[in-house]
Amino acid sequence: MAKVFTIPVVPSIGRKQRERTSDPRYVEGQRALVEAMKYLAKADPVGNRPAIELLSEHVRTRFRMSDSPLMSDSPVK
């Protein structure tokens, strides 16, 4: 059986953490998926339910919660 060696690293407390900035591509992608879900829900809510659930799962798992299509600085609307 193989042995696993871990080398502990003391975190650098004085190091400044990098500030997260939202990528406009992620925000635009999120907006496009939300618009697609709205369209599917208006067209046929019952028939398109599996597609809406799939898109909803993608939005919930692939995007950061800090990226919001409502608060973006993107000029495209």
CB-count exposure of residue 70 (10 Å: 0-12, 13-18, 19+): exposed
Please report, in tens digits, the pLDDT of each residue of the chain (77 residues total): 667 777 787 777 776 766 767 778 878 888 898 899 999 999 999 999 999 988 888 777 765 555 555 554 544 44
The closest alpha carbon to 26, from 75, 62, 77, 61, belongs to 62
Query: pTM of the entire structure?
Result: 0.53
> Which pLDDT score is estimated for 46?
94
